[in-house]
Amino acid sequence: MPVTENPLEAYNLTSSFEANGHMLELYSEKEVLTTGYNELYLQIKDLSTGEYIPNATITWNPVMHMTEMSHSCPKSEISVTEEKTVYKGFIVFQMASNTDEYWELNLEYSFGGTTYTISETIEVNAPADGKKTVNVFMGADDTRYVLAMMPLAPEVAINNLSAVLFKMESMMSFSIVEDYTITIDPRMPGMGNHSSPNNEDLTYDAATGNYTGKLSFTMTGYWKINLMLLNTNDEILKGESVTEENESSSLYFEIEF
């Protein structure tokens, strides 16, 4: 078998699925799949030639099989990268796998005029540091939302903060919410709940489908990023202001560095 250079060498292979004479490889920047936002890369290797297959069309559907019911989670479409044999997308897992309940990844991929399918169990872990990066909640508008922080390499500086916001249309269907606002109020609960200057609330970026803003850290340590979700009429759907009497919002992300 010819040796093909792997363009994803720098990433972590989290799962590989063999079917239809192909090996589908799922890669992440993280070592394992975790709850929250996972940026993922896929490759399809033809096992008869050892070559990676370019320009395939791939769709995916993660489903969690729980004891009482099944549900999916927010996910992007999968696009071909400049590498042609590397495909990219993201999945926001709301829950971790456990001994009785598991996630299954259903993949459908097409090339050369044929469509193939494969389903495999995947392991979704709770984050190793225990920090909250995804919120699943019911808004004041009786709509269920999923809000996830995108990966951030925090620095004592003004950081670019991005998040994705999805509405739960049904157990199996999630759609991007446009044009809402996510206010941010970072605090250090261990240090008199002090804040930081020059933060900017997250607003919707139609070009990427993400919410982006500025998150200011004045020192290292544990920060709670208190959030409020506002709809297009500036009505608060979830979260509370931080005041003398109210130490934190019910909607938040956590970062420690």
Q: Please, which residue, 94 or 159, has the CB nearer to Cu ion? A: 94
**Least separation in angstroms between CB 100 and Cu ion:** 11
> Residue 73 CB, nearest distance to Cu ion (Å)?
8
Applying the rule CB under 5 A, the residues between 85 and 104 that interact with Cu ion are 95
To the nearest whole angstrom, how small is the minimum distance from the Cβ of residue 138 to Cu ion? 16
Select from 8, 40, 42, 64 the one that contacts Cu ion (CB under 5 A).
Answer: 64
- Binding part of the chain for Cu ion, among 15-23, 36-44, 64-72, 102-110 by CB under 5 A, reads 64-72
66 binds Cu ion (CB under 5 A): yes
| Residue 171: CB minimum distance to Cu ion, A | 10
Residue by residue, DSSP assigns the chain as ------TTTTSEEEEEEEETTEEEEEEESSSSEESEEEEEEEEEEETTT-PBPPS-EEEEEEEEE-SS-EE---B---EE-TTSS-EEEEEEE-S---SS-EEEEEEEEEETTEEEEEEEEE-EEPPTT----EEEEE-TTS-EEEEEEPP----SSEEEEEEEEEEESSSS-EEEPPS-EEEEEEEBGGGTTB--SS-EEEEEETTTTEEEEEEE-SSSSEEEEEEEEE-TT--EEE-----SS----SSEEEEE-
Query: Minimal distance in Å, beta carbon 122 to Cu ion?
Result: 13
Q: Site map for Cu ion, 163-202, x if CB under 5 A?
A: ----------------------------------------
Closer to Cu ion at the Cβ: 64 or 202?
Answer: 64
Nearer to Cu ion, 97 or 159 (CB): 97
Contacts with Cu ion, residue ranges (CB under 5 A) = 64, 66, 95
